[in-house]
Amino acid sequence: MNLQLLLIQVFNGLVNGAFYALLSLGLAVIFGMLRIVNFMHGALYMLGAFVAFALGQTLGLGFWPSLILAPLIVGAFGVLLERTLLRRLYGLDHSYNLLLTFGLTLLLQDLVKQEMLSQFAVSSAPYTAPASLAGVVNLGFVVFPKYRLFVIAVSAVICLITWFVIEKTRVGSVIRAATENPVVTRAFGINVSAWITGVFGVGVALAGLAGVLAAPIYSVEPYMGAELIITTFAVVVIGGMGSILGSVVVGFAVGVLAAIGAALYPPIANTLVFILMALVLLVRPNGLFGLPEGAR
Amino acid sequence: MNKRILTALLLSTASMSLAQTAKLSDGIIKLGVLTDLSGVYSELSGAGSVKAAQMAADDFMAANPGYKGKVQVLGVDHQNKADVASNKAAEMIDRQNVDVLLDMPTSSTALAATEIARQKKTVAMVVTGGTTALTNENCNKYTFHYAYDNYMLANGTGVAATRKGGKSWYIIYPNYAFGQDLNRQMTAAVQATGGKLITPSEATPFPNTDFSSYLLKAQSLRPKIFGTMQAGADLVNVVKQYNEFGLKAQGIGLGIGLLFETDIAALGQDAYAGALATIPWYWNLDQRSRDWAAKFEKAFGKKPTWAQAGVYSAAMQYMNAVKRAKTDDSDAVVKALEGYSFSDFFARNASIRPQDHRVLLNVYTVEVKPKSQAKEPGDYFTKVATIPASKAFMPLSESKCKM
């Protein structure tokens, strides 16, 4: 393979990396702050895409309003779930919330499938990029869809904002305190339970946002999150469970590596991330950016 | 004599005399539609296939009053899994007395279920499964392959696209039995017509959502045709991204291995406009087809796919064979089917090849028309070529079938 083609693939890999980063970021926020292994994240990503599609079908809303509304709706749905179901499991073993979120995933996929079957097609729902981002742009070394450039940009900005808020602002320090030591934080007059709900809602909204961004690229179908979530979990593990920086950096890196893999030796594209995970865990059991439990 | 015993005796002699006219194993012809009722192929076959078989049963009974009340339809979900398909096929034959298995989307399930049918000496008519193995190395006395197969897809589209100027190809295929088989057939058809592959075909992971790497490669290779052997949801992704990367504007055409109407519905026909594909039937092929499709749409609420129309036709031909054989005994029905020639709304100029049980029929290479040219919803295709039944399928000389 020549150098130009390799460069093109590196660049192309950033698009998938953008999705991995957004999704693993949400997972990392939820796990890092609340210690919930949210297996439902892929289904919520699918829900984001489906809500955007449904908003278009029923209310005639285009891409731009959906880009704001769909994550809000998915986030609100997350808040509802946290309030009614997840919070009952906080004191229990991780396997309980894994089972619950897995069950909810199956439920959500089937509900969406029924809805889509009754309308027209379960294999996909049509959704295209807005006119302003349609078409391709010649970057000199490659002709690339404008919309994909937009996805890379949005993802990078959102990741940066999230990292900044959690690591550098007072809001972030309250969240970290509330999850590190809820009793003391409560003693300062802070409503810990409300903060936890809020953090979960934001993490879930990030998955919804990724879903809306994905709708014009991938097909909108009930199982679109099922495959992605496995890779995303691998990204979170490589980056270090709960590490914000790790999830973002590794997310983009895995996207790029998979694209190079797909170009050099296609069969390895989907396996590469797991090989990487095995290697990283051998050397650094807490992941690249992770710290040992209790040392945060 | 006890009155009840007398009635029973009378009834049994009555039923025996009935059985004289048509020797049905349990007094009933039971059509078993083994299909995908819940997964990725459920919309192109699924409940619609069961409905099509039911319509065939109703029409057959209406046309043959002697069989009134004697045909039943059973729809069973095989979940596209070979092991489930085996178990369900055995259960349908042993416990539910099914006389014929129909449909069977997904090549692996078709191979698994037909093997069970062979062991239990039960007729199986594969409509939606595509692998040519069914009439080659895995052929057997009780299995018939209806509607289409990978050879016919490749032969139709590969030849037509190459003749239309598609001299250079870049082909990608999903890395499993169906995709590998279709890639082999497509490559052979392109090369036999004077076309060439710019680079060896590439296997993609299956399933897969992101095809950008291959599309970017196509951009730099500049083939005349980008051939995709993906099917269902994967195909929808390929086509969506083919459009996104603007390959058509760059002079790279799209050649599709296996296309169902539902794939077009999923993206809208403009995404496919100009693409070539080969299909055994479409609903507005002619008036006869339109009439049947209208009946189906009234009963089912949606237009039929070619797979569903094929299930109706296969079910009807099975029942006609039972009528000719005057029994549903498998060996006799197989004999009645072998070499039989017919023409119905779906299968034109059709005949059943006795040597390998390939059902030969006219097929059509079509070009997807843009929405602006569609006269009504679902008007997707412009016919490019009719491939006569004798040319559409693998010639016997190439068949590996030993029956």
Q: Where are the beta strands (DSSP E) in B217-343?
A: 225-228, 253-256, 276-279, 341-342
Looking at residue A12, its pLDDT comes to 94
Segment B199-206 shows an average pLDDT of 91
Helix, strand, coil shares, percent, chain A, to 5: 75, 5, 25
Segment A35-61 shows an average pLDDT of 94
Segment B187-207 shows an average pLDDT of 94
Give domain status of residue B400, yes or no. no
Give domain status of residue B399, yes or no. no
Give domain status of residue B403, yes or no. no
CA-to-CA dists, residue B254 to A169, A219, B163, B226, angstroms: 52, 18, 14, 5
Looking at residue B11, its pLDDT comes to 53
Whether B271 and B291 map to the same domain: the answer is no
Looking at chain A, the whole-number percentage of residues with pLDDT higher than 90 is 64
Looking at chain B, the whole-number percentage of residues with pLDDT higher than 70 is 95
Q: Where are the beta strands (DSSP E) in chain A?
A: 136-138, 143-145
More confident residue, B361 or B40: B361
Taking CB atoms and an 8 Å limit, are B240 and A219 in contact across chains?
yes
Tokens of B387: 């491939």
Looking at residue B4, its pLDDT comes to 64
pLDDT category of residue A11 using cuts at 50, 70 and 90: very high
Looking at residue B177, its pLDDT comes to 80
CA gap A151, A18 in Å, rounded: 7
Of B213, B219, B233, the CB nearest to A124: B233
Query: Is 70 exceeded by the pLDDT of residue A289?
Result: yes
Q: Which helix (H) or strand (E) is B34 found in, with range?
A: strand B29-35
Looking at residue B1, its pLDDT comes to 47
Whether B105 and B127 map to the same domain: the answer is yes
Residue type, position A247, single letter: S
pLDDT tens track for A165-177: 998 999 999 888 8
Bridge-partner residues for B172, per DSSP?
B202, B228
pLDDT category of residue B205 using cuts at 50, 70 and 90: confident
CA gap B86, B79 in Å, rounded: 11
pLDDT tens track for B303-318: 999 999 999 999 999 9
CA distance A228 to chain B (A): 9
* Mean pLDDT value across chain A: 91
Provide, as residue numbers in chain A, all residues whose Cβ is less than 8 Å from the Cβ of B204: 266
Tokens of B188: 């052979």
Query: Is 50 exceeded by the pLDDT of residue A194?
Result: yes
Query: Is 60 exceeded by the pLDDT of residue B16?
Result: no
* Mean pLDDT value across chain B: 93
Looking at residue A293, the DSSP 8-state letter turns out to be T
CA distance A86 to chain B (A): 29
pLDDT category of residue A1 using cuts at 50, 70 and 90: low
CATH classification of the domain holding B176: 3.40.50.2300
More confident residue, A44 or A31: A44
CA gap B117, B34 in Å, rounded: 12
Query: Is 90 exceeded by the pLDDT of residue B239?
Result: yes
> Where in chain A are the domains?
13-225
Taking CB atoms and an 8 Å limit, are B213 and A262 in contact across chains?
yes
Whether B225 and B372 map to the same domain: the answer is yes
CA gap A243, A225 in Å, rounded: 22
- B 248-267 → A contacts, CB under 8 A: 249-250, 262-263, 265-267
Q: Find, among B126, B103, B84, the residue nearest to B42 by Cα.
A: B103
- Residue showing tokens 């049980």: B357
Q: Which residues contact A244 (CB under 8 A, 6 or more apart)?
A: A25, A28, A29, A32, A162, A163, A166, A167
Provide, as residue numbers in chain A, all residues whose Cβ is less than 8 Å from the Cβ of B214: 262
Looking at residue A295, its pLDDT comes to 52
DSSP string of B155-193, one letter each residue: HHHHHHHHHTT--EEEEEEESSHHHHHHHHHHHHHHHHT
Whether B270 and B367 map to the same domain: the answer is yes
Provide, as residue numbers in chain B, all residues whose Cβ is less than 8 Å from the Cβ of A219: 209, 233, 236-237, 240, 266-267
pTM of structure: 0.88
Kindly give the residue spans of alpha helices, DSSP state H, lying in B193-260.
212-221, 232-244
CA gap A270, A189 in Å, rounded: 48
Rounded to the nearest angstrom, the gap between the alpha carbon of residue B58 and the centroid of all alpha carbons in its chain is 22
Provide, as residue numbers in chain B, all residues whose Cβ is less than 8 Å from the Cβ of A109: none
pLDDT tens track for A207-263: 999 999 999 999 898 989 998 999 999 999 999 988 999 999 999 999 999 999 888
Phi and psi angles of residue B306, each rounded to the nearest 5 degrees, phi first: -65, -25
- Residue showing tokens 């196509």: B218
Bridge-partner residues for B364, per DSSP?
B279, B386
Whether B157 and B143 map to the same domain: the answer is no
Residue B381 half-sphere exposure, CB side, CA atoms within 13 Å? 24
pLDDT tens track for B371-387: 999 999 999 999 999 99
Looking at residue A91, its pLDDT comes to 82
Bridge-partner residues for B76, per DSSP?
B34
Residue type, position A205, single letter: A
What dihedral do alpha carbons A18, A57, B230, B346 form, nearest 10°? 180
Give domain status of residue B341, yes or no. yes
By three-state DSSP, how is residue B101 classified? Answer: strand
pLDDT tens track for B119-166: 999 999 999 999 999 999 999 999 999 999 999 999 999 999 999 999
- What domain count does chain B have? 2
Looking at residue A229, its pLDDT comes to 92
Provide, as residue numbers in chain B, all residues whose Cβ is less than 8 Å from the Cβ of A217: 240-241, 244
- Is the CB of A143 inside 8 Å of chain B's CB atoms? yes
pLDDT tens track for A71-130: 999 999 999 999 999 999 888 888 898 999 999 999 999 999 888 776 655 567 889 899
Taking CB atoms and an 8 Å limit, are A227 and B233 in contact across chains?
no
pLDDT category of residue B26 using cuts at 50, 70 and 90: confident
Closest B-chain CA to A119: B302
Segment A56-65 shows an average pLDDT of 93
Domain that holds residue B209: 151-279+363-391
Of A143, A147, A227, the CB nearest to B219: A143
- Is the CB of B240 inside 8 Å of chain A's CB atoms? yes
Looking at residue A122, its pLDDT comes to 59
Looking at residue A83, its pLDDT comes to 95
- Is the CB of A149 inside 8 Å of chain B's CB atoms? no
CA gap B212, A217 in Å, rounded: 10
Closest A-chain CA to B203: A266
